[in-house]
Chains A and B, each alone.
Chain A
Amino acid sequence: MKHVLKRFFAAVALSVFLTMSLVLPAQAFDYITPMFTGALAYLALSGVGVPVAIAGSIALHAGVLAIALSPDTTAPTSINDAPLTVMLATKTELPNRPTGTGFANYTGAVFPSFQPVPPSSVANGATSNYTYPGDNFPLNHHDLPSVYQNWVNQNMCNGAVYTVNSHSETTTTWSANLAVALGACAAAPSYSNAGAAASGSIGYVCPPGYTASTTTCNVTTVTAVQKPNDGKKALVVNGANFTYDPQDSNDVSPIVPQVSGIGTPTITAQDNKGNLTSVTRASDGSYTITDTHANVDGLTSTRTTITLSPPDATTGIPTVTGQKQEQVNGVGTPAASAPATTAPPSSGTTDVSNLATHSDVSAVGTKVDSTNSKLDTLINGTGADVTLSTQSTAVDTAATAMQSQVTAIGTSGLDAHGVTYTWFPSIPTSTCVPLSATYAGRTVTIDWCSTVATMNTLIGYIFYLLTAWTLFNIFTARRET
């Protein structure tokens, strides 16, 4: 708006300036001429003033016009988690030296043996006599000699009760448990039934590897001595293969690692997480240990391979000869057995000729048909309380209403929606009259109206151009946000 006002004021100012510049000198000449006609004749100045004044005015006005029109510029808990311990350093004693009562005299292993040395002798017990049926039958292990009680308590019979299944004058049959237990850890108990079943006895028998000598059992075969229960099952290298420790068979409910390959040169243990440990003994006595543990991502495993030399003949200690660590696919034995590579897809053809006749496939087909039927009901509205077609019509109706709302705005053109603006400024008008003034007793009249009319027409044209330019700018102006 300021540009419009500026141009209007500039045009009005130009109008006044042009009128004053053109009309007054001309009128002054007209006024002066009758007064100084004679003098002008003398001075030969007639007609000189007008051309000079007009030429000067036009030059000045051209400069003004040029300015006016210039454009704008802007950890482990169960048997499955039991650790696997394999003692490969043959000089090292197996970690299960007996510590129970009566076995405190065990001493450390003497190389090259890795087994602890049992006591050279143990005390023999007295024969326990009992009277049948006067004694407390069924017999339990408390009736045994104290030393033998310890043996039974520590090794296999803790809390167990043994009974006489049958009894005759010559034969007494014990329950299977007692027979097996005692048979496993000692020689069969002696039992005498002389007489009319009135008395009996169980004689103390030395443990395996010991031989009775009156009241003492002396070691005769060290490798036959059985170590007492410690709850652990040891593995040793027996010849070329891995076996359970032959001197460690007395464990009651031992925690046995999930080991496969017993009796072969390779043993493999796996915990319940799928972690895998295997040990392989080569024919030259060297070992390869492979450990595969699942990574935290649950998708891959880390496989560590360690190779050991055969145990040194003097020290019994092997030497690490190599170590490798690699990433493998999957977790657990089957999945992690393959290296971290992707197998190419199979290009075989599957026979599907009998697939459609399978009962499961048929059942699936029936369900799909049912689903299709219900979807058809939903879409087409047949027999349904609430149908998609009904809702679709409602959506269409709502969308059409919204479209009409928007269209009404768009097609209204310059509809002002009742907004009007009728105020326009009042432009003063008047009719031109000649200028009249009295000077020195003489009335001077300057009739400038014809010139004012001419200039009015000229300035009116300039107004027209300014208005056209202003309207064009209004049309092309950037819309205010």
Chain B
Amino acid sequence: MPWLIALIANFASFVGLQIAKKTALAAAVIVASVALTVALAAAIQTLLATIVVSIPSAFTAAAYFIPYNTSACVAAVIGAKFARFVYDWNMKNLEMAASIN
């Protein structure tokens, strides 16, 4: 029976090692995903910051017609889109962690 004892123990050890490996891979994948996303966001915002805009004075009157809550509305839409992006991104991270085997 020693062979059976060794077999069961080795199998249990194998299962434990597999789960530990899965955990390490999940952590590594998420860290890599965060790093990639942070770099992408920084790069895009850097590009946007280099764009210089101005409106000719002759069109100043056009600004009269821009509603008072335009900035708030635009900010709300951009903020919501970013929140949705973060949500989708975290869901993808969950899928990656669950699918590693």
**CB-CB under 8 A for A415 and B45, given A405-B27, A427-B70, A428-B66:** no
A422 and B86 CA atoms in complex are apart in Å by 14
A414 lies within 8 A of B83 (CB)? yes
**Residue A194 at the chain B interface, CB threshold 8 Å:** no
User: How far in angstroms is the closest Cβ of chain B from A186?
Assistant: 73
A405 and B23 within 8 A (CB): yes
A15-B97 contact in complex given A402-B19, A402-B26, C-beta closer than 8 Å: no
Interface residues of A in 393-418 (CB under 8 A from B): 394-395, 397-399, 401-402, 405-406, 409-410, 412, 414-418
Minimum distance in angstroms from A238 CB to a CB of chain B: 67
Q: Mark A464-481, 1 if CB is under 8 A from B, else 0.
A: 101100110011010110
Q: Is the CB of A409 within 8 A of B64?
A: no
Once the chains bind, are B9 and A378 in contact (CB under 8 Å)? Answer: yes
A416 to B83: give the CA distance in the assembly, Å.
Answer: 8
Q: Which residue of A377, A398, A412 contacts B20 across the interface (Cβ within 8 Å)?
A: A398
A residues near B80, Cβ cutoff 8 Å:
470-471, 474-475
Question: Is B65 a contact of A463 with CB atoms below 8 Å?
Answer: no
Which residues from chain B contact A463 at a C-beta distance below 8 Å?
A: 67, 69-70, 73
For chain B, which range describes its interface: under 10, 10 to 19, 20 to 34, or 35 or more residues? 35 or more
* Minimum C-beta distance from B94 to chain A (A): 5
CB distance from A64 to the nearest CB of B (A): 15
Docked complex: B32-80 residues within 8 A CB-CB of A: 34, 37-38, 41, 44-45, 48-49, 53, 55, 60-71, 73-78, 80
Distance of A299 Cα from B26 Cα, bound (Å)? 55
Chain A residue nearest to B97 in the complex (CB): A406
Chain A interface: which size bin?
35 or more
Q: Which residues of B contact A395 (CB under 8 A)?
A: 12, 15-16, 19
A405 and B19 contacting across the interface, CB-CB below 8 Å:
no
Assess whether B69 is in contact with A460, with CB atoms less than 8 Å apart: yes
- Does A419 count as interface, using CB distance less than 8 angstroms? yes
Residue pair A426, B41 in contact (C-beta under 8 Å): no
Residue of B nearest to A404 (CB): B23
Pick the contact of A421 from B55, B78, B89 — CB < 8 Å? B78
B22 touching A402, Cβ below 8 Å: yes
Identify which of A122-130, A222-230, A451-459 touches chain B. Answer: A451-459
Give A20 Cβ to nearest chain B Cβ, in Å.
9
A427 and B97 within 8 A (CB): no
A432 CB–B CB distance under 8 Å: yes
Q: How far is the CB of A481 from chain B (nearest CB, A)?
A: 8
A-B contact pairs, 26 of them (CB 8 A): A4-B77, A11-B67, A16-B62, A391-B13, A394-B12, A401-B19, A401-B20, A405-B26, A405-B27, A409-B30, A414-B83, A414-B87, A418-B34, A420-B41, A422-B45, A423-B45, A424-B74, A424-B78, A427-B66, A427-B74, A430-B64, A449-B64, A456-B65, A462-B67, A471-B80, A474-B77
Residues of B with Cβ closer than 8 Å to A?
1-2, 4-6, 8-9, 12-13, 15-17, 19-20, 22-23, 26-27, 30, 34, 37-38, 41, 44-45, 48-49, 53, 55, 60-71, 73-78, 80-84, 86-91, 93-94, 97-98
